């Protein structure tokens, strides 16, 4: 029966016969895939690997991507942002102007053209957009302005992995706002914050917005949008009061330590042979690990330093980095530690050291404990800050853990894992200063443009959707991101009545603008069911000999597994209504 083709808003056909499709499904998990989304996107025929961190999107993968693009465009445009498309290849000169040529490191893919000029493939577009702005935005009348694109980036990640989650080549929506002043920039930032909330809501994903680390700049000038999934790489901290932060950044105030020591106990040197680690030392001395003050040696921008933290806590490297004015702290190797401190790892300590000492506030509350003696096989007991050793800086250095007090309200914090899919950031005048992007104010004076940047990883969002929504049979697409919303499965394609009933239903669904595949392949029912579950169409409609005899079809919803029998004649109407309940139509 000839089917009348209908098109969705992207100009794509609403329907597909699976006999004419290219969605190569696999029975087995691909060996190179470690995480669920990577396995399932390959097995369900959405992606194929070309090279490390570089993937082809097959037709089903591209359809899901187009849906996500549409959701993103709608909210970006609603927020007043304007879409453009910047080049992927960028002159190295611009990166030298901004200073990032030096500091971006090996993630930046550099090459020469035939004239031996430096070029890069864009990992991000601050330089290019600021260059455009300095040429084209001249007056306060042009502001505010927010420009965005959906485009391929390249970052030569050290460890590309997990398929679309951390690729080297990947598609990003990046937006850049330009304002006259901080107040304007704050409004642009808020608008993007709202738009991002709507985007991830419209994708049908469970997500959280957390305060992210914004480096040495400080303040809440950066938020991350996190899809919640047990398999996420990021640890997130939440409180019922609404506080939410990335563990990297979560501030920690007055967490519980052991009670302070008796004030007047004298410093005592104790023999602790071979006790290199906190648990061994605690066992030997028969004290809790929280009574030990752990000393670690780092190097930040060429300067060695010591950090002190209670033995039952972990040090937060992001907080340490911020305390070092943004210089990446590197834990010294055992050899370096011994060379610089004079003691082997496990026995180093702050007493009589010449190095700068940064200590966590928990150590202050502990006010005394066991600490490395700065000499192999020895520690001190009852070592008290200020009395026995000097601390150059007291600060919050510990990682916030489950049960720690919320920095806002003091109630216990809980942790969850998430996947960063979006990141919004206030840039201030960083790039406009470096590249000289100035505009003239109403009073005639020149001022730098105040910028913000806003990114969403599209491939990572699709992968995160799969991490959050799957079972042992396959993907459970949230309706808005499913490549097709419904699949019609006639189980015996030789049966003419069955085929004709299936095609009629297929046409009715297309007429109602439900994106549908017709599984017209001459395959066993078992294989059709398996593929439908693996690909994860939200609605599966089966026509068997038995159901046909009753004038019925079987509807199975992928998310709830709920099965209902529907009259053949009203099936399309019922499914259309169920689909429309989500509020998103083709
Ligand atoms: P990450 O900390 O995961 O490396 P990032 O801070 O480098 O991320 P941004 O520069 O803020 O990321 O990029 C914006 C968005 O682009 C991220 O929120 C993420 O969704 C996506 N993204 C970044 N790197 C990759 C990658 N290698 N593969 C896929 N998506 C990515
Ligand atoms: Mg990165």
**Residues 438-495: tens digit of each pLDDT:** 999 999 999 999 999 999 999 999 999 999 999 999 999 999 999 999 999 999 999 9
Its CATH class, for the domain covering 268-395, is alpha beta
Instruction: Please report where in the chains the tokens 């950031």 appear, as a residue.
Output: 425
Most informative mutation of 209, 460, 463, 464 for ligand 1 (most atoms within 8 A of CB): 460
CA dist., res. 545 & res. 497, Å (int): 9
Ligand nearest to the Cα of 214, by number: 1
What's 124's DSSP letter? Answer: -
Strand partners, 405: 412
Distance of CA 372 to the CA centre of its chain: 39
Instruction: Please report where in the chains the tokens 């990947």 appear, as a residue.
Output: 170
Residue 215 pLDDT level (bands cut at 50, 70, 90) = low
**In sequence order, which ranges of 179-253 are alpha helices (DSSP H)?**
182-202
Minimal CA–CA distance to 249: which of 234, 230, 232? 234
pLDDT of residue 244: 87
Ligand 1 pocket (Cβ < 6 Å) reads: 124, 155, 157, 166-167, 170, 172, 420-423, 455-457, 459-460
Minimal CA–CA distance to 391: which of 421, 427, 367? 367
Model confidence at 220: pLDDT above 70: no
Task: Name the closest-CA residue to atom 22, ligand 1.
Answer: 457
Model confidence at 79: pLDDT above 80: yes
CA dist., res. 546 & res. 445, Å (int): 81
CA dist., res. 194 & res. 73, Å (int): 14
How far is ligand 1, taken at its centre, from the CA of residue 580, in Å? 33
Strand partners, 488: 518, 541
pTM: 0.87
CA dist., res. 119 & res. 102, Å (int): 14
How far is ligand 1, taken at its centre, from the CA of residue 153, in Å? 10
pLDDT of residue 103: 87
pLDDT of residue 9: 78
- For the stretch 339-358, pLDDT in tens is 999 999 999 999 989 999 99
The answer to whether the peptide bond before residue 553 is cis (omega within 30 degrees of 0) is no
CA dist., res. 46 & res. 88, Å (int): 24
3-state class of 197 per DSSP? helix
3-state helix, strand, coil in the chain (%, to 5): 30, 30, 40
Which atom of ligand 1 has the smallest separation from the CA of 224?
18
Strands (E), 113-247: 118-121, 145-154, 169-179, 207-211, 222-228, 234-238, 244-246
Ligand nearest to the Cα of 166, by number: 1
Q: Does domain 69-88+123-237+418-466 have CATH number 3.30.930.10?
A: yes
CA dist., res. 293 & res. 339, Å (int): 21
Ligand nearest to the Cα of 152, by number: 1
Is residue 164 a contact partner of residue 460, using CB atoms and an 8 Å limit?
yes
For the chain, give every domain's residue range.
1-22+484-586, 69-88+123-237+418-466, 268-395
What's 510's DSSP letter? Answer: H
User: What string of DSSP letters covers 76-123?
Assistant: HHHTT-EE----SEEEHHHHHHHTHHHHSGGGSEEEE-TT--EEEE-S
How many CB atoms within 10 Å of residue 21?
Answer: 18
Q: The domain 1-22+484-586: what is its CATH number?
A: 3.40.50.800
CA dist., res. 521 & res. 527, Å (int): 10
Minimal CA–CA distance to 447: which of 178, 153, 194? 178
Residue 100 CB partners (closer than 8 Å, separation 6+): 108, 127
Task: Name the closest-CA residue to atom 6, ligand 1.
Answer: 423
């Amino acid at each position: 029966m000839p089917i009348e083709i209908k098109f969705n808003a992207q100009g794509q056909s609403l329907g597909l016969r699976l006999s004419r499709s290219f969605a190569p499904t696999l029975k087995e998990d691909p060996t190179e895939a470690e995480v669920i989304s990577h396995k399932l996107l390959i097995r369900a025929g959405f992606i194929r690997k070309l090279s490390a961190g570089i993937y082809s999107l097959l037709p089903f993968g591209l359809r899901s991507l187009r849906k996500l693009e549409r959701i993103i465009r709608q909210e970006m445009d609603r927020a007043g942002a304007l879409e453009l498309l910047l080049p992927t290849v960028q002159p190295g000169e611009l990166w030298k102007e901004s200073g990032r040529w030096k500091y971006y490191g090996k993630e930046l893919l550099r090459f020469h053209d035939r004239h031996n000029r430096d070029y890069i493939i864009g990992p991000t577009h601050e330089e290019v957009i600021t260059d455009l702005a300095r040429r084209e935005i001249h007056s306060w009348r042009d502001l505010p302005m927010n420009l965005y694109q959906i485009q391929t980036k390249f970052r030569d990640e050290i460890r590309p992995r997990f398929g679309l989650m951390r690729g080297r080549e990947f598609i990003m929506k990046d937006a850049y706002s330009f304002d006259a002043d901080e107040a304007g920039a704050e409004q642009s930032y808020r608008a993007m914050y709202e738009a991002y909330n709507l985007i991830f809501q419209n994708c049908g994903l469970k997500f959280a917005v957390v305060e992210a680390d914004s480096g040495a700049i400080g303040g809440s000038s950066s938020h991350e949008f996190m899809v919640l999934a047990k398999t996420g790489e990021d640890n997130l901290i939440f409180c019922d009061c609404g506080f939410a932060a990335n563990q990297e950044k979560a501030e920690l105030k007055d967490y519980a330590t052991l009670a302070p020591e008796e004030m007047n106990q004298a410093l005592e040197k104790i023999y602790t042979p071979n006790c290199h680690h906190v648990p061994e030392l605690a066992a030997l001395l028969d004290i809790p690990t929280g009574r030990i003050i752990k000393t670690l040696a780092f190097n930040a921008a060429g300067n060695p330093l010591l950090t002190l933290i209670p033995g039952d806590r972990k040090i937060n490297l992001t907080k340490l980095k911020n305390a070092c004015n943004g210089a990446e702290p590197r834990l010294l190797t055992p050899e370096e530690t011994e060379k610089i401190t004079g003691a082997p790892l496990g026995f180093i300590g702050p007493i009589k050291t010449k190095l700068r000492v940064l200590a966590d506030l928990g150590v202050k509350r502990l006010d005394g404990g066991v600490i490395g003696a700065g000499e192999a096989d020895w520690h001190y007991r009852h070592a008290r800050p200020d009395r026995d050793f000097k601390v150059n800086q007291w600060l919050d250095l510990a990682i916030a853990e489950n049960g720690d007090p919320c920095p806002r309200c003091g109630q216990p914090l809980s942790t969850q894992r998430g996947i960063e899919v979006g990141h919004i950031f206030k840039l201030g005048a960083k790039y406009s200063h470096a590249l000289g992007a100035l505009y003239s104010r109403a009073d005639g004076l020149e001022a730098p443009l105040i910028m913000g940047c806003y990114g969403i990883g599209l491939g990572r969002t699709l992968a995160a959707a799969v991490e959050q929504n799957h079972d042992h049979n396959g993907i459970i697409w949230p309706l808005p991101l499913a490549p097709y919303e419904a699949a019609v499965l006639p189980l015996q394609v030789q049966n003419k009545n069955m085929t004709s009933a299936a095609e009629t239903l297929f046409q009715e669904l297309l007429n109602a603008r439900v994106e549908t595949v017709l599984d017209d392949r001459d395959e066993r029912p078992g294989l059709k069911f398996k593929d439908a579950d693996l690909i994860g169409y939200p609605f599966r409609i089966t026509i068997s000999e038995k159901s046909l005899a009753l004038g019925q079809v079987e509807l199975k919803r992928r998310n709830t597994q709920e099965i209902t029998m529907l009259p053949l004649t009203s099936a399309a109407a019922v499914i259309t209504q169920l689909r429309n309940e989500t509020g998103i139509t083709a």
